[in-house]
Amino acid sequence: MTKLVRQPQERSRQTRDLLIEATLDCLQEFGFHGASLSRILERAGVSKGTWAHHFATRNELIAAAAEIMITDTRRAADEFAASERQQDPVLIEKIWQKFYQSRYRDVLFELTVACRTEADLHRRLEPVFAGLVGGIRAAWGGDGDGEAQNLSANIAMMTVYMLRGMAVQDMLASDPVGGAALRRLWSDLMRPFMTAPMPHEAEAAVELMKD
């Protein structure tokens, strides 16, 4: 009896996984508007009737795929922070390669632009993106308390926003301003703020922020 119950559940999970993976692939390859339902279903090898058992609309499928991608990204970022944050001279470059030279980058920007005009997608994904930001701040907040921890978290978010901007520019013109050199410079500038206990340079920065 148990076997009969579990088999349909397993097939259902596998179908959802195929649809999610195909959706992310199509978003990267064809863009938001080019990732039609027919293309996604063809890539997944799933019929429209089977798809309809799992999702009501194309945007619902795209939102589900985005949620899974962002959840996986947050988990990877947490693991990255735990293993890499202490005084790694090429930390920024590792983050760049892992998150901004990959499918994640392409899908992220497709979703960002789509959310500007797709109200249902925006409503569903806004708390997911907010959770990603909160997770990054928590993971990279450092071991100090109060101002020191907040400064470390803010530096981490500044790094994320800087890399996103670089990724956009990189899509328009490959490394037009020596991005690798700029990332090394930013790494050198941020490193004193990302270690515990709070170094002298970070203490000085906090004092300046109070003024």
For residue 15, pLDDT over 80 is answered with: yes
Confidence class of residue 2 from pLDDT cuts 50, 70 and 90?
A: very low
The tokens for 72 are 């996986």
- Does 140 or 97 have the greater pLDDT score? 97
Q: How far apart are CA 186 and CA 173, in angstroms?
A: 21
> What is the per-residue pLDDT across 52-61, written as a single tens digit (0 to 9) for each?
999 999 999 9
CA angle 49, 69, 121 (to 5 degrees): 65
Question: In 3D, which of 29, 8, 127, 15 has the Cα closest to residue 61?
Answer: 15
C-beta separation of 197 from 144 below 8 A: yes
What is the domain partition of the chain in residue ranges? 1-55, 60-210
In which element (H, E) is residue 53 found? none
Q: How far apart are CA 83 and CA 88, in angstroms?
A: 10
For residue 94, pLDDT over 90 is answered with: no
For residue 28, pLDDT over 50 is answered with: yes
Confidence class of residue 176 from pLDDT cuts 50, 70 and 90?
A: low
Which pLDDT belongs to residue 170?
86
Averaged pLDDT of the chain: 82
For residue 38, pLDDT over 60 is answered with: yes
Confidence class of residue 39 from pLDDT cuts 50, 70 and 90?
A: very high
For residue 91, pLDDT over 80 is answered with: no
C-beta separation of 55 from 61 below 8 A: yes
Q: How far is CA 174 from the centre of its chain?
A: 21
Section 40-66 average pLDDT: 95
Span 1-55 CATH architecture: Orthogonal Bundle (1.10)
Q: State what percent of residues in the chain have pLDDT above 70.
A: 81
Which pLDDT belongs to residue 67?
94
Which pLDDT belongs to residue 27?
97
Distances (CA, A) of 28 to 33, 35, 103: 11, 9, 6
